Structure 1
Amino acid sequence: MMKQFWIGYWFKPWYFLYRIGYAIVISGIRGYFKNHQYDGKENIPANTGVLYAVNHQNAFLDPIVIAGRTKEPTHFLARADIFKKPMVAKILSMIYMLPIYRQRDGVDTIKMNQKTFDTCFDILKNKGNVIIFPEGNHNYKKSLRPLKKGVSRIALGAAEKYNYDIDVKIVVLGLDYENHFKMNGSLYLNAGTPIDVSEYYENHKKNPSETINNLSDRIYQTLGSLIINIKDDENYDELHYLLHRIPLENNSNRVSLKFQLRKERLEKIEKLEKTNASLYEEIVSFISELKITMKKFKLRPYLLHQKPNSLLSLFLYSLLLILFSPFHIIGLTTNYLPYKTPVWFVNSKVKDKHFHSSLKMALGSLFFYLYWFIVTIIFSQFFGWKYGILFFITLPLIAAFNYKYWIYFIKVRGLWNYKLNYKSILSLREKYLDYYATIK
């Protein structure tokens, strides 16, 4: 798990704006994601140019979660249209963003992109890092799209520019979000074994196009093995629900284990599609029915694995909620506004949902610290600075309690709903348990 808090970045010769952003990302990751894990860190080579080839599911959040786990400035390519204003372009360059031009930008893309490519070549020569999203655009779906050849072209272009006397590695990195749009999900970074680009130098000298294609194919195959790749787009929503809502056999919170179990379940259902298409269609159709029923009664499928709780136990759970409600109310006064304000702003003002998570995480971090600072000053005016400092220290603990209370409240509400509607969903529960034996 990513537990360490690295503060050395404050002493790095980075742009100040990048250091501020780095701090926001580090604290934001801790608050936004319930669990986060980075496997394969030992695969990241040192003292060499590194190209990260990453799947692209979550717009701006993808590069910043990688940058937040890298102890060197990480450059990444972004749409050129956001660089149009000189002041914005200067700010973006200070956080190591580079423009990539498309046909719709109305410029000579080959000429303009060559400048960016040359910059990447020099970064790699100087043993720097560059993130590229070879799918070319973002999409929240957990499906690998066809890859552009930019990673291969930049890697081999850098080699060619420096007469093949350069060490470049490609690290294929899979990103997996348990929930793309809401907090409290898990984040999994999964780095594969580095591809040594020098293996392709001799072939590139003889046949550049074929070598670029071969390297791109290898990147595609590697990336596909590092992510959850749902290929049945027609039934995507049902398969996603199968992987992320229907309980896994192992109850572990370890992110990598849950990821592996989901991949195995996906492989199992894909195999079923080939060997027993009619049963596959039955299961997919049932999952669609299950989704509708769970939403109607505000339930989660994990409840179907158990009988309803007794009324006594439900009353005791509810009593606990009542007893701790005063602490929850205190928590609302110090946490509700900084939590809800970014959510409201992003949901109402930002149309592209792919940008929601990154903006909520960044704005949430800023709003929480700013709001806590203001509340602490007000508190200190009444009770003195000694108690004010103590109050400020306790604010993250109050926030953690408040969040746990809310999760507990949702679970108790679910138990009550299950108890009250059990007879209505009894037949669905029996059918669910029959199918679960096949899909677990």
Structure 2
Amino acid sequence: MLLYRFLKYWLKPGYKVYFRKIFIRGMEHVDKQKPVLFAVNHPSAFLEPTLIATSVDFDVHFMTRGDLFNRRFLWFFNATNQVPVFRFKDGFSQLKSNRDSFSECHKRLINGARLLIFCEGSMKWVKKLRMVQPGAAKLAFGTLEKKEDLPLVIHPIGLSYDDHSRFRSDLMMEIGPAIELEDYFEEYRTEPRKAVKELTAEIQKQLNQCVLHIERDEDLETGALLWTVVKNDPEFSGNNGSSPFPEVKNVLDRFNKSAESKSGILLRDKLSEYDSALKRHKLEDATVGKLSKNGLPVLSAGIFSLLFLPFSLFYLLPLWIATVISRNTMANVEFYSSVRAVLFIFFLTVLLLAVLVVMWFSPYSFFWILILSLGVGIDLRLRPYRLHLLRFFKAGGSWKPVRKLAKLRGEILEIIKII
């Protein structure tokens, strides 16, 4: 438990640096007096469990891929509340171990634990919710069979990343209302297969409300750009610091339903045209949106940010080391993103401790520590403006492509209103 708490409070401030913003909604739905099964989507390796654990004020237990369990590190998995679960591809002999794992999960839930299960059954970096597997429903019913009066509930949790492989991107975490199990369990007594199927369908339905979902595979690229455009536009997502999830969710749901309509086809064509133009001019939507509305102030802030550029080395050096190691050791984006984030926090911690030790033994140590803290904090806030400035000059330092792209962007925003 001590190791769990240490990792939780070590990772939490690190994630606040790695991500630009972490939006969390729905925490009020969770009754802290009840055992809970969290049904979570799984687009990365271990960002989801660690982000959830660092965002709540109670301990969380995790069902983890059994093939990752190594006897030499069994102490670590036990100390961090992890229970192994095996898949068909891990072999039949390993599948037999699931009986013990599920018994352990039943015991923990009966004792009041909050247990997290990745209900899609596997991880995949894709901006959609995949099919929910029956494991969560079976686990819930198996627990209730052992203690029928247990007030167990299921909460869906959806994590929607702008791009979890990108430094200083945003994350939206949605915690849905509790799925009560009493009626489902009554049906389970007489028709277990039907009850499992119906509860799984309900989890799918409720989790879908917590995830930014792009339905068709052929729409994944244009849908992701639409997500970005809506999120970056204050007219749609607001500008009050609250989560833009409801607004982006509303637009994506209408986008999914409009695949065959005239306005839907037009929107997809415009998004494809806009995407090609962005790539051609080496610009990004956020830059186009900012420059088209407040061009000179944004560029002025970008120039001003250059004064704080030396402070960026404090976080860019750990990021560079973490990126190099992750690229050379991780074969897929799901593990790359998770490993990169944790390595960044590790090397940032090492650098921070080294700098603090040096400064502590220097004259006016408090003054230098204060300057470093303020400098890094201000630089992180000004960094987006510096990136806008850099992209502007990469595009040739001309307003012509910005105006052209802004016009396309405006057409997209108008079509969104009628789909």
TM over 0.5: yes
Once the 2 structures are TM-superposed, how far is the Cα of residue 133 of structure 1 from its aligned partner? 0.9
SS at match of 1:274: coil
**1:30-86 CA distance string (max 9 Å, x none):** 212222232211211222211001111122000111111233331111111111x31
Is 1:64 matched with 2:45?
no
- Asked if structure 2 preserves the Cα contact closer than 8 Å seen for 1:36 and 1:255, the reply is no
- In angstroms, what is the RMSD of aligned CA positions? 2.8
Structure 1 residues 391 and 361, CA, compared in 2 at 3 Å: closer, same or farther?
A: farther
1:265 correspondence with 2:251:
yes
Change (3 A) 1:309 1:417: farther
State the match for 1:401 in structure 2: 378
Contact kept in structure 2, 1:314 and 1:416, CA below 8 Å: no
How many residue pairs match? The answer is 415
Of 352, 357, 360, the match for 1:372:
352
Change in 2 beyond 3 A, CA 1:288/1:421: farther
What TM-score results when the alignment is normalised by the length of structure 1? 0.85
Q: 1:388 aligns with which of 346, 357, 365?
A: 365
Structure 2 CA distance for partners of 1:47 and 1:420, relative to 1, 3 Å: closer
Name the counterpart of 1:170: 154
Where do residues 109-258 of structure 1 align in structure 2 (5 Å cutoff)? 109-162=94-147, 164-245=148-229, 247-248=232-233, 249-250=235-236, 252-253=238-239, 257-258=243-244
- Is the alpha carbon distance of 1:374 and 1:305 closer, same or farther for their aligned partners in structure 2, counting shifts above 3 Å? closer
Q: Does the 8 A contact of 1:328 with 1:405 survive in 2?
A: no
> 2:292 touches 2:402 (CA, 8 Å); kept in 1?
no
Aligned partner of 1:343 in structure 2 is 323
Any unmatched runs of 5+ in structure 1?
1-13
Residue 138 of structure 1 deviates from its aligned partner by: 1.3
How far residue 256 of structure 1 moved from its aligned partner, in angstroms, is 5.1
Gaps of 5+ in 2: none
Distance, in Å, in 2 between the alignment partners of 1:206 and 1:334 is 62
Change (3 A) 1:111 1:254: farther
Change (3 A) 1:414 1:127: same
In structure 2, what is the equivalent of residue 25 of structure 1? 11
CA offsets per residue over residues 189-210 of structure 1, 9 Å max, x none?
Answer: 2111112222322211111111
1:108 CA displacement = 3.3
3-state SS of the aligned residue for 2:97?
helix
Deviation of the 1:224 alpha carbon: 0.8
| Paired residues of 1:124 and 1:158 also in contact (CA < 8 A) | yes
Distance verdict in 2 for CA 1:127–1:354, change over 3 Å: same
Change (3 A) 1:71 1:320: closer
- 8 Å Cα contact 1:33-1:187 kept in structure 2: yes
Aligned to 2:22: 36
**Deviations for 1:404-425, whole angstroms, at most 9, x for unmatched residues?**
3432222223445667444467
Secondary structure at the aligned position of 1:157 is classed as: helix
Q: Is the 8 A contact 1:45 1:169 kept in 2?
A: no
SS in structure 2 of the partner of residue 273 of structure 1: coil
Structure 2 vs 1, CA of residues 205 and 272 (structure 1 numbering), >3 Å: closer, same or farther? Answer: closer
Q: Is the 8 A contact 1:35 1:255 kept in 2?
A: no
Q: State the TM-score, normalized to the length of structure 2.
A: 0.89
- AA of the residue aligned to 1:49: P
Partner in structure 2 of residue 91 of structure 1: 76
Report sequence identity in percent. 23
- Cα deviation, residue 226, structure 1: 1.6
